Amino acid sequence: DIQMTQSPSSLSASVGGRVTITCRASQTISKSLNWYQQKVGKAPKVLIYGASGLQGGVPSRFRGSGSGTDFTLTISSLQPEDSATYYCQQSYTFPVTFGQGTRLEIK
Amino acid sequence: QVHLVQSGAEVKKPGASVKISCKALGYTFTNSAMYWVRQAPGQRPECMGWINTGTGDTKYSQKFQGRVSITRDTSASTAYMELSSLRPEDTAVYSCARDWYSSGWRTMDVWGQGTTVIVSS
């Protein structure tokens, strides 16, 4: 299975600020990388598909980039509702696999 | 509106089996495949398997091979996941998720509400 590793595991930032989360795949996955947001007690919600595509209805302050093995999710103009855990997921090969998650706290 | 509605929470003894349903609403069931994903408390989501809802073809993660069975009933627009030989470490939230292509890239775009399974003696 392809291993996905995220960093950091957790971070804290202020309203209006910007954060970057990184995700590394154990082998090349082209741009088959999705980002999900999960709030407590809820199912994951897809934010970014294909490394940089913005899912419909997702604010443009969420931005994804990368290809191959290294990817980033940047969230700008942080809002209180961005407090959540963020997961990267590779869809290059079965089984799809997820990173361990990054917990974001908004101060 | 597209929804996946799952069956309710389960409490099982070690060694038992559990079967969870996932009913698709608001779209043509056989047009999209379905994943089953589980998430133990504080852990990352974990793919258990996948079913082509049109043909019934399945793929299973090696971790669950031999213990999991995914089926579907097209007349009921419902997918099922059965996990056998349950052990306490199978305690988790189990979810179905639609396999969808956004601009050619594969995602899990709609998720069920999750079914909590507790395995305890």
Say yes or no for a CB contact (<8 Å) between A49 and B112.
no
* Contacts of B1 by beta carbon, 8 Å cutoff, 6+ apart: B25, B26
Give the CA distances from residue B41 to residues B44, B49, B93, B96, in Å, rounded to whole numbers and listed in that order. 9, 20, 8, 17
Residues A94, B35: C-beta atoms closer than 8 Å = no
Measured between alpha carbons, how far is B75 from B34 in angstroms, rounded to an integer? 16
What is the amino acid identity at position B63?
Answer: K
| pLDDT score for A41 | 93
Q: Chain B partners of A50 at a C-beta cutoff of 8 Å?
A: 102-105
pLDDT confidence tier of residue B45, bands split at 50, 70 and 90? very high
Q: What is the pLDDT of residue A25?
A: 98
Q: Looking at the partner chain, which of B35, B102, B114 has a beta carbon nearest the beta carbon of A55? A: B102
Mean pLDDT of chain A: 97
Q: Sort strands B18-25 and B34-39 into parallel, antiparallel or unpaired.
A: unpaired
pLDDT tens digits, residue range B75-110?
A: 999 999 999 999 999 999 999 999 999 899 999 999
Whether residue A34 and residue B45 make contact (CB cut-off 8 A), yes or no, is: no
pLDDT at A39: 97
Local confidence pLDDT in tens for the 107 residues of chain A: 999 999 999 999 999 999 999 999 999 999 999 999 999 999 999 999 999 999 999 999 999 999 999 999 999 999 999 999 999 999 999 999 999 999 999 99
d(CA B45, CA A94): 14
For residue B62, list chain A residues with Cβ-Cβ distance below 8 A. 1, 95
pLDDT for position A95: 97
Pairwise CA distance, residues B81 & B68, whole Å:
7
Give residue-wise pLDDT tens across range B16-32. 999 999 999 999 999 99
Query: What was the pLDDT predicted at B43?
Result: 96
Contact B105 A32 (CB under 8 A): yes
Tell me how far CA of residue B78 lies from CA of A78, A92, B32, B70, B72, in angstroms: 39, 26, 12, 11, 6
DSSP string, A8-38: -SEEEE-TT--EEEEEEESS--TT-EEEEEE
State the Cα torsion B38-B40-B42-B44 to the nearest 10°. -30
Identify the pLDDT of residue B35: 98
pLDDT of residue A51: 97
Cα separations in angstroms, B58 against A15, A47, B53, B90: 45, 27, 9, 21
Predicted confidence at residue A5, as pLDDT, reads 98
Mean of all residue pLDDT scores within chain B: 97
| Per-residue pLDDT at B119 | 98
